[in-house]
Chains A and B, each alone.
Chain A
Amino acid sequence: MKHIKTINKANLKKTAEKGGCGKCQASCQSACKTSCTVANQKCEKDA
């Protein structure tokens, strides 16, 4: 494409089907805490 350059795998949908196992870390969005917001978390589901 000339005008649009896609730069990542748009795979959020797929993650929903297999996700939700709850193995990943809890995360706090707030300014006062362990500094772990959701967006930068790692998925820890068994492969």
Chain B
Amino acid sequence: MRIETAYQNGELRVMLHGELDHHAAGDTVREIERAVDAYMPMLCVVDLGGVTFMDSSGLAVLMKTRRRVTQIGGKVRVTGASERIERILNSAGIGKFIEITRREEVHIERN
């Protein structure tokens, strides 16, 4: 799991690359929380576009991110989820707690 962060105008973007499973979850949460504490963002966008595998362990990572960001009064948005990852997010009803934007919506509109 590789984690990239970028901050601009109150928005923290966390880009995850690789396999997000239980083995990777602990370090991933720690790194996200460190970035959230450092930047105190209004909005934290978790970009799953580079995630090649995710299971239920990723759900806990997202919920923990939400908790940390909510504590400082910010919001979380998840983007870039593949179809399978989206199925996992939906089965857990994550959309009730975290805004999920579809992969297509983040791209420039066609015609």
Q: Tell me, yes or no, whether A binds B.
A: no
Q: Which residues of A contact B (CB under 8 A)?
A: none
